[in-house]
């Protein structure tokens, strides 16, 4: 039987006292996160994972990488099929090459460090407090609550919105170059797709873009449902690994059938049963 993961040993609790709510240090940390998330829907905790523990995370990613679903296709920002009724220049008709791979969540069992971090009550409470959300649940999608994104040399991830409301990413391993994270914060809302703003980003004329270079051990809290974002192509011979933890504002929410097929190569009965169940009416 696998031994429980001592997840507290992985987090630099001296810098980030996520397990000490109510303390002055915790309050100071939260004030900084709230300001960043309010300003641009994104907050980064540099060196969240201790440097001496990053090797164990990279080893876990190496072990599961062969299980990644690799896909090479063209997709729009919404992971929807083409709609000829829309104008050719409409954002939903703008398709880009995507070469990417995701290790589905059912590859991360009780021995997984990433699964243990996601299941650690102090961690989820910390993320919820950072986001200041009353409606906050683990993602119910059994293929997508805890995953690893594997980007091989030359690969990247084109402009897209997330299905889940809130995404927390943990940088595990970078490529030798490239792989920058680019995003346009708060570009749409639960009631407004803001296609004009999306078009400006796609056209390269938006003044709302931010660029981040995350280092192994950095934790990012991101409102990816509303912020258009992409990962630049990775350069060199080394893979880029990022752990992804997902949370939602609606307890039964799972990925759409089309999106799940594209990202994981399969769907489960739960995706068919809960198709269309969303907390909002956004395209995806």
Distance of CA 147 to the CA centre of its chain: 9
Write down the residue that tokens 């679903």 correspond to.
69
Residue 205 lies in a domain: yes
- Residue 127, domain member (yes or no): yes
First vs last Cα of the chain: how many Å apart? 40
Asked, for residue 171, whether it belongs to a domain, the answer is yes
What's the whole-model pTM score? 0.87
Please classify residue 160 by burial: count the beta carbons closer than 10 Å to its beta carbon, then call 0-12 exposed, 13-18 middle and 19+ buried: buried
- Tell me, what's the pLDDT at 157? 84
Burial of 47 (0-12, 13-18, 19+ CB in 10 A): middle
Both tokens assigned to 109:
């069992």
- Spatial CB neighbours of 169, under 8 Å, sequence gap ≥ 6: 214, 219, 220, 222, 242, 243, 244, 245
Residues near 197 by Cβ (< 8 Å), separated by ≥ 6? Answer: 184, 187, 188, 206, 208
pLDDT tens, position by position, 182-233: 999 999 998 999 999 999 999 999 999 999 889 999 999 988 888 999 988 8
CB 92 within 8 A of CB 80: yes
Continuous segment of H or E residues that includes residue 113: helix 113-119
- 215 DSSP assignment: P
Give me the pLDDT at residue 280, please: 63
Question: In whole angstroms, what is the distance from residue 31 CA to residue 96 CA?
Answer: 38
Residue at token pair 């100071």: 28
Does any domain span residue 279?
A: no
pLDDT in tens, 168-187: 999 999 999 988 899 999 99
pLDDT at 2: 57
Q: Which residue has the tokens 């609790």?
A: 13
Of 72, 120, 92, nearest in space to 219 by CA: 120
Count of Cβ atoms closer than 10 Å to residue 27 Cβ: 12
Give the range of the structural domain holding residue 49, as residue numbers without chain letter.
Answer: 27-273
Domain count, the chain: 1
Position 9 scores a pLDDT of 94
Encode the chain (284 residues) as per-residue pLDDT tens digits: 456 788 999 999 999 999 999 999 999 999 999 999 998 889 999 999 999 999 999 999 999 999 999 887 788 998 888 999 999 999 999 998 877 799 999 999 989 999 999 999 999 999 999 999 998 999 999 999 999 999 888 888 889 998 777 889 999 999 999 888 999 999 999 899 999 999 999 999 999 999 988 999 999 998 888 899 998 889 999 999 999 999 888 888 898 888 898 889 999 999 999 876 665 666 76
- 3 domain residue, yes or no: no
Residue 106 placed within a domain: yes
Instruction: Write down the pLDDT at residue 251.
Output: 86
Cα R_g (the chain), whole angstroms: 18
- Indicate whether 1 belongs to any domain: no
Q: What's 262's domain CATH number?
A: 2.60.120.620
Domain-located, residue 104: yes
Contact at 8 Å (CB) between 233 and 154? yes
């Amino acid at each position: 039987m696998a031994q429980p993961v001592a997840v507290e040993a992985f987090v630099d609790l001296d810098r980030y006292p996520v397990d000490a709510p109510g303390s002055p240090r915790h309050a100071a940390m939260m004030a900084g996160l709230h300001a960043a998330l309010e300003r641009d829907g994104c907050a980064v905790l540099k060196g969240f994972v201790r440097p001496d523990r990053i090797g164990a995370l990279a080893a876990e990613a190496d072990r599961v990488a062969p299980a990644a679903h690799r896909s090479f296709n063209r997709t729009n920002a919404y992971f929807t099929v083409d709609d000829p009724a829309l104008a050719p220049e409409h954002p939903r008709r703008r398709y880009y090459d995507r070469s990417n791979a995701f290790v589905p969540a059912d590859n991360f069992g009780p021995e997984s460090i990433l699964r243990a971090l996601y299941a650690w009550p102090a961690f989820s409470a910390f993320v919820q407090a950072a986001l200041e959300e009353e409606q906050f649940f683990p993602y119910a999608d059994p293929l997508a609550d805890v995953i690893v994104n594997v980007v091989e040399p030359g690969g990247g991830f084109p402009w897209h919105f997330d299905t889940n409301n809130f995404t927390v990413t943990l940088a595990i391993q970078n490529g030798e170059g490239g792989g920058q994270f680019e995003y346009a914060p708060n570009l749409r809302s639960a009631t407004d797709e803001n296609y004009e703003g999306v078009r400006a980003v796609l056209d390269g004329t938006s003044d709302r873009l931010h660029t981040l270079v995350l280092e192994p051990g950095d934790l990012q809290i991101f409102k990816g449902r509303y912020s258009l974002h992409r990962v630049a192509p990775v350069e060199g011979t080394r893979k880029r690994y990022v752990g992804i933890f997902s949370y939602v504002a609606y307890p039964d929410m799972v990925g759409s059938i089309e999106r799940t097929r594209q990202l994981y190569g399969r769907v489960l009965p739960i995706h068919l049963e809960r198709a269309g169940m969303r907390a909002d009416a956004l395209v995806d």
